[in-house]
Amino acid sequence: MKTKIDILQRLFFLITAAAVVWGLYLAARAPGEATQGDAAKLLFVHVPAAITAYLALGVGLLAALWYLIRRSPAADRMSSSAIEVGVIFTVVTLVSGMIWGRAVWGLWWDWNDARLMSTAIMFFYYMGYLALRRSIIDPEARAGRCAVLAVIGFIQIPIVHYSVLWFRTLHQGPTILRPDGFRSTMDEEFALSLAVGIMAFVAAMTLMLTSRLTLSRLQDARNDLSGLGPPVGRGVTAPFMGGPTMGGPTMGGPNG
């Protein structure tokens, strides 16, 4: 049986495929860059992958905060799925970045570079997140602890970044997010290919995220044999961060 979501997902798959093909075509057609030659074409993979990774991990963080406030199982599913997807794009960012670095700087790796180092540390940190997730069986404890870990990571990763940045860095400045807009540093044909690349990556990420979400929803439904709904979010003790709980009636009941 096909549901509305199935059809939507298929449609999205087609859009993603089209964007990827268009992006590849543009990248193949683009001329080599003035000083870097064809190596610069890695830009069309590296930058979109990095943006997508940060986007996914950002969604993961917001969902984790949402979980800590409302303790909703849906927030936990969103958080973990987004982080899983984010880790994959982090790997793509790191690998493409290393290849590019080898071609341009002459080095696979530079320990003085803030973005390389903070991305790598972030990657290992989220590996820890995934390991923790696998180790906890109780869904409520797992959701709570993983949400806390995601929040700590969010607090600490900027510090990691700035601590590595303390050295002057070899990495070029930001290409897109600059006050004067990207046109000032990039020729138009590069800009178009890059834009399409970003679109393709974000579309692919969304596709992966929605599929992963569907999967975790099915897993949760399968694991819940209680008939009481997911065993998360109600109870006797105080809510996590002072927000309202989803619990039923409270003080001064009929017997009181």
Partner 1 sequence: MASHPLVRFEDAGYAAAGTLILRGVNLTIEPGDILGVSGPNGAGKTTLLRLTATLHRPTSGVCSVLDADADTRPEELAAVRRKIAMVGHFPAVWPELTLRENVELVSRLRGDPPSEDPLRTVGLEALERWKASRASLGMKRRVEFARLLTWTPRLLLLDEPHAGLDAAAAPLVDEVVGRVAANGGAAVLVSHDPGRVTPLITRRILVSAGEVSEEIR
Partner 2 sequence: MTRRQIVLPALVLLAAVIVLLVWNNLGNNLVYYLTPSEALEQRGGPEAGGRFRLGGQVEEGGIEETEDGVRFAVGDGAASITVVHTGAPPQLFREGIGVVVEGAWEGGRFHSDVLLIDHDEQYRAPDGEGAYEVPAGPAVPAVEG
Partner 3 sequence: MTAEQNGAEQKDRSPSRRAVLRRTFWRQTWWVIRKELRVELRGGETLWMAAPFAAMALLLAPLALGTDTALLRRIGPGMLWLVVVLFGMTVTVRPTSIESRPVRDLLTLSGLDPVAAFLGRSGASAALLFVFTLVLTPVMIVLYGPDSAPLWGCLLWLAVGAAVALGLLGTLVAALVTGLRSRTALAPIMSVPLAAPVLIAVVNGTENALNGQPATIWLLMLAAVDLILLIAGVMLAAPLDETTR
Q: Are 141 and 65 in contact (CB under 8 A)?
A: no
Task: Write down the residue that tokens 């860095």 correspond to.
Answer: 169
| 32 contact partners, CB below 8 Å, separation of at least 6 | 38, 40, 41
Q: Which of 74, 98, 110, 145 binds partner 2 (CB under 8 A)?
A: 110
The first and second tokens of residue 146, run together, are 């993983």
Collapsing DSSP to helix, strand or coil, 243 comes out as coil
Tell me, what amino acid is at 203? A
| 80 contact partners, CB below 8 Å, separation of at least 6 | 60, 133, 146, 216
The first and second tokens of residue 195, run together, are 């834009």
Of residues 105 and 123, the one with the C-beta less far from partner 2: 105
Handedness of CA 142, 215, 122, 202 (dihedral sign): negative
- Does position 136 interact with partner 3 (CB under 8 A)? The reply is yes
Of residues 16 and 93, the one with the C-beta less far from partner 2: 93
- Does position 245 interact with partner 2 (CB under 8 A)? The reply is no
Binding mask 108-137 for partner 1 (x = CB under 8 A): -----------------------------x
Binding mask 165-204 for partner 3 (x = CB under 8 A): -x--------------------------------------
216 binds, among partner 2, partner 1, partner 3, none (CB under 5 to 8 A by kind): none
- Separation between Cα atoms, residue 184 and residue 150, nearest integer Å: 36
Q: Which of 1, 131, 177, 228 binds partner 1 (CB under 8 A)?
A: 228
- Does position 107 interact with partner 2 (CB under 8 A)? The reply is yes
Residue 177, phi then psi, degrees to nearest 5? -85, 70
- The least distance separating partner 3 from the CB of residue 143, rounded to whole angstroms, comes to 8
Residue 15, CA distances (Å) to 19, 85, 206, 235 in order: 6, 19, 11, 44
Q: Which residues bind partner 2 (CB under 8 A)?
A: 31-37, 39-40, 43, 103-107, 110, 112, 114-115, 165-175, 185-187, 189-190
**Residues interacting with partner 3, by CB under 8 A?**
68, 117, 121-122, 124-125, 127-129, 131-132, 135-136, 140-141, 144-145, 148-149, 151-153, 155-156, 159-160, 163-164, 166, 237-238, 240-241, 251-252, 256
